[in-house]
Amino acid sequence: MLIDDEFIDRVLEGEATGEEAAEFQAWLQVPANLDRFALRAELHSDLRRSLRRRDIQKSALEASTGSPVTDSTSTREQLSAPSFRPRQMLVLTVAGLVTAACLLLTIISPEGNSDPSSADGSAATVVSNVNGVLTKDGTQWSEAQIPVGDYELQKGLVHLEFGGGVMVYVEAPARFNAVSKERIVLHSGRLSARVPPEGIGFTVETPEAEVVDFGTEFSVDVEGGASEVHVFDGLVRVHPGASNQREASRSVDLQASQAVRIANGAAEPEDISIATDRFIRNFDEPRLNYARAVKRLSPLAYYRMPIRDRGLVSEPLEYSGVVLTGDGKRPPHARGVFVGGSLRVGVDSIGRGGRVDSPPPLSTGRFSLVVFVYLEAPAEHAEHAMVATNKNDERGNFSLSLDENGELQASITSSNAVVTSVASGSVLPQKTWRQVVVTANGEQLHLYEDGRLVASKPCAAMAASDSDPVWFGTDAEATQVWDGRIDEVALFDRALNEEEIAALYRTAQEEIARLR
């Protein structure tokens, strides 16, 4: 059978028979034929652009194996042994081969590796700057355009847009070189990238590796003579080694939920667990089912802990506060329980908690606090660390903190000045998001963890508090600083019931499963 350009076009258009497809598979075993097919497929690149990002990756990988792909192998290895499906699936198969061939061209094409800068010398645009101090060649840079050059993010966070709609989120401290609209060199620090189909081929270089993206979401962490690459969606190719020591044979492909660590001088990348909670991958707080569920319960104030430069934002805005800061390395923000941000306190951050000077009044004798907590230090080293309180000397009426045993403890002051406290009965786990709910209904003080009642005690109606400041992650004296993250805080002037609490937790779990 003669395989010429006309035949290849028939394959690309899905008109080949099953028998012809089998012969075409054998023909592709020859590297020169594979390259020829890739070049011809480039003429049909509009197919790739018409597919959504996930379809691109799934089709490319599955077309090369004939079944869902679970192991990480190189794109060239996948292309060299495609397994065609029955005729009714041929169109999908060909779409996948077109995509895979285009990805191959991204790697081998000289144009794809030349890193041309734009005509005006600009590599990126600043989308948002959250308390960021960015310098270029030692001088503070505050312009919206990011010209080609070396930068240091000394403080805060920046969101940059590169060519093809590539979104890059950089966390201080970080040093990077904006090489072009298609390339960034990360010398140290953390960044996350979201790459649409139009940005395929976007490259992040580090001292230990080069990361080429194929339309995905991934993060890179460079610290202590090692680089880590974490893939959350799609596909990236990692070329380990310094820039003058990279060999194609050592390259590895990473798919969603895979991560590697490349140490300086190591022969091969090391597989590691993906760090879903380490990286800030979005500054926005999307509209979520969980947020809608909370709002339907009519909270007095709701703090979603968005990443903003204007303080501690509340819904409604009149109960907003300030983010407290001190000495530290990283911003007072971290990835939240869902997506977006959370308030980060202590550990290695500059965060020292939050304060609301004009909170909503708590004067009905009934109360609920809903919050997600994430402890980064061992619980035994964080005794008395505060989650939330409005107590200051003899004033205030509630608190949630760790006790001397590392257990969560809720306390309220009743109208007769009696303080009632309950403890969870178990040590709070480290580096795990935990939903905590405290309720006081005038008769009982209840403490819930992850939708389950863990402790209760009789109590009288809670004392009124009309204007006492509220602290998150610290107390009035700044002696009980939390070591971790706080997110999705809601205050109520009524006691939520068990059904409402269980429903909130179910919604949260559904949201987490959908977004991770």
Q: How far is CA 326 from the centre of its chain?
A: 25
Residues 6+ positions from 243 with CB-CB distance below 8 Å? 205, 210
pLDDT above 80 (res 152): yes
Structural tokens at position 53:
């990002």
Structure tokens at 339: 């997506």
Nearest-angstrom CA–CA distance, 179 and 118: 10
Per DSSP, the three-state class of 238 is strand
Instruction: Quote the pLDDT of residue 36.
Output: 66
Q: Residue 105 — very low, low, confident or very high, per pLDDT cuts 50/70/90?
A: very low
Residues spanned by CATH 2.60.120.1440 within the chain?
Answer: 122-272
Average pLDDT over residues 301-330: 91
Mean pLDDT in residue range 39-65 = 48
Q: How confident is the model at residue 118 (pLDDT cuts 50, 70, 90)?
A: low
What CA dihedral angle connects 289, 295, 297 and 300, to 10 degrees? 150
Give me the percent of the chain exceeding a pLDDT of 70.
Answer: 80
Note the CATH number of domain 289-515: 2.60.120.200
What is the bridge-based pairing of β-strands 398-402 and 167-180? unpaired
For the segment 359-398, what is each residue's pLDDT rounded down to a tens digit?
A: 999 999 999 999 999 999 876 677 789 999 999 988 999 9
Residue 27 burial (CB count, 10 A): 16
Average pLDDT over residues 330-352: 91
Q: 3-class secondary structure for 187-209?
A: EEEEEEEECCHHHCCCEEECCCE
Contact between 32 and 68 under an 8 Å Cβ cutoff? The reply is no
The whole-angstrom separation of Cα 135 and Cα 150 is 9
Q: Is the CATH code 3.20.20.70 the one for domain 122-272?
A: no
- Least confident stretch, 323-327, 379-383, 463-467: 379-383
Using pLDDT thresholds of 50, 70 and 90, give the confidence band for residue 350: very high
- Could you tell me where in the chain the CATH 2.60.120.200 domains are found? 289-515
Tell me the whole-structure pTM to 2 decimals.
Answer: 0.74
Structure letter (DSSP) for residue 330: B
Q: What is the mean pLDDT of the chain?
A: 83
pLDDT band for position 233 (cuts 50, 70, 90): very high
